[in-house]
Structure 1
Amino acid sequence: MTLAIMQPYLLPYIGYMQLMGAVDTFVLYDDVAFINRGWINRNKLLINGQEHLFTVPLKDASQNKRINEVHLADDPKWRSKLLKTIEQGYRKAPLYPVVMPLTEKIINFTTDSIAEMIYHSLVELNGYLGLTPKLVASSSIYENEHLKAQDRILDICRQEGATRYINPIGGMALYDKERFAEAGITLNFIQSERVEYPQFNRGDSSTFIPWLSILDVMMFNDVPTIRQLLTQYKLV
């Protein structure tokens, strides 16, 4: 069984979804410290031909809190404002009529928890894309917060019965393949290849804006095409 562990990201870039599609169990690491100005509540869209950073407002967010302790802002107007931004940016995209109702369902999900919102959004995205990993919130099951770093990862792998663990390439300096091998687990790192596709019929790769939210990918590509894009990575 292959497992990955990642902090919950809202409407993440395609590399996150590639990792999701590469594993049997995907653990949302939601009981670790919140990261200010990270990707938990932010991502990028294509608006008027330019990269645009959107942010979901939070209430008293702090790196002294766990992700699952952070709440959405009280003012609900941010939801309609974000949806309006997405509509303005993508209403002429070929898959807009299909993707926008799903986007509205994600953004309008009733909760005051950013972790719950992201969990729900990934369930919806997986359903749309046909991805079938078991999705687990780390706060809900493992009871191993006393462990740190690699030791905690290994314990989650042990509890889930994983024989392979895949981590983003940026973590190569953090994990020891020998330690994992001693536990009977193969450690791999996923390295995304550059993914390109037409954005508003612009075929010139010099104008392509990469690594935007998965929403951008979905607005311009049907599901079979996205499934192919999700395989464009290497395991090292």
Structure 2
Amino acid sequence: MERETIKSNFFNYKKANYFSDIYPPLEDIINSPEINLHLFNSNCIIKICKLLDIRTNILYDNSKNQDVEEELVNQNNINKEDIKSQRIIKFCKKFNSKTYINPIGGTELYDKEYFKKNGLELLFVNTKDYSYEQFNHSFNEHLSIIDMLMHTGIEQTKQTVKEYNLI
């Protein structure tokens, strides 16, 4: 599977402006020997963040959150829609967070008032408009961070990911 992913990225992006800069670290990320999907994905995110100088502390050890999951499973009076919000609220409280920031798509899933009643501020990341050249095609937005890196390079990608508003 990983060889297919590497070949696919190679052939899809070999003519991209920043291919020679981005492909080696990407290949290193994809070639990780990790077989646990959760840990593999966490490792990918951590390495991409390091590449972009994003210094967010990423917590990925699920064993530390087992108590929250068990508590949610044992709550019979909670409906299916609220369990997603309650999971976030419980995690935030466990880590003494006052604010939860979610991608903009979460406006359909999460209610700011519900979070407020539970002592949390809920904000959504609203990415500012951006575009870049993609092989002389019309711009296809929100493909992936890999696409942006391959076409704009590390420095421009660093700038672009900082362009957002919290709503």
SS in 2 for 1:180: helix
SS in 1 for 2:58: strand
Q: Distance in 2 between matches of 1:167 and 1:111?
A: 27
Q: What residue number does 1:159 align with? A: 94
Residues 51-104 of structure 1: CA deviation (Å, up to 9, x unaligned) = xxxxxxxxxxxxxxxxxxxxxxxxxxx212221121112112221111111111
Q: What residue number does 2:166 align with? A: 235
- Residue among 204, 208, 211 paired with 2:142: 211
| TM-score where L is the length of structure 2 | 0.83
Q: What residue number does 2:152 align with? A: 221
Q: Summarize the alignment of residues 128-167 of structure 1 with structure 2, pairs less than 5 Å apart.
A: 128-137=51-60, 139-142=62-65, 143-145=67-69, 146-147=71-72, 148-167=83-102
Structure (1 or 2) with the larger CA radius of gyration: 2
How large is the Cα RMSD of the aligned pairs? Answer: 1.9
Q: Distance in 2 between matches of 1:138 and 1:218?
A: 28
Structure 1 counterpart of 2:68, one-letter code? N
Shift of 1:183: 4.1
Q: Distance in 2 between matches of 1:86 and 1:222?
A: 15
Q: Distance in 2 between matches of 1:210 and 1:149?
A: 28
Shift of 1:117: 0.9
- Paired residues, number: 155
Shift of 1:197: 0.9
Give aligned-pair identity as a percent: 28
- Residue among 80, 84, 91 paired with 2:14: 91
- Residue among 116, 121, 126 paired with 2:49: 126
Residues 126-179 of structure 1: CA deviation (Å, up to 9, x unaligned) = 110000111112623122113222111111001111121111222224333234
CA 1:91–1:174 in 2, change beyond 3 Å: closer, same or farther?
closer
Task: In structure 1, list runs of 5 or more residues that go unmatched.
Answer: 1-77
Q: Distance in 2 between matches of 1:144 and 1:138?
A: 13
CA 1:231–1:88 in 2, change beyond 3 Å: closer, same or farther?
same
Structure 1 counterpart of 2:53, one-letter code? G
Q: Distance in 1 between matches of 2:108 and 2:27?
A: 39
| TM-score where L is the length of structure 1 | 0.60
CA 1:138–1:158 in 2, change beyond 3 Å: closer, same or farther?
farther
Q: What residue number does 1:175 align with? A: 110
Q: What residue number does 1:9 align with? A: none
**Larger relative strand fraction:** 1
Give 4+ residue runs of structure 1 displaced > 6 Å after superposition: none
Residues 176-215 of structure 1: CA deviation (Å, up to 9, x unaligned) = 3234334442211122233211223x3x7xx112221211
Q: Summarize the alignment of residues 93-108 of structure 1 with structure 2, pairs less than 5 Å apart.
A: 93-108=16-31
Q: Distance in 1 between matches of 2:36 and 2:113?
A: 38
Q: Summarize the alignment of residues 44-63 of structure 1 with structure 2, pairs less than 5 Å apart.
A: none
SS in 1 for 2:68: coil
Q: What residue number does 2:125 align with? A: 190
Q: Which moved more, 1:174-183 or 1:211-220?
A: 174-183
Structure 2 counterpart of 1:213, one-letter code? S
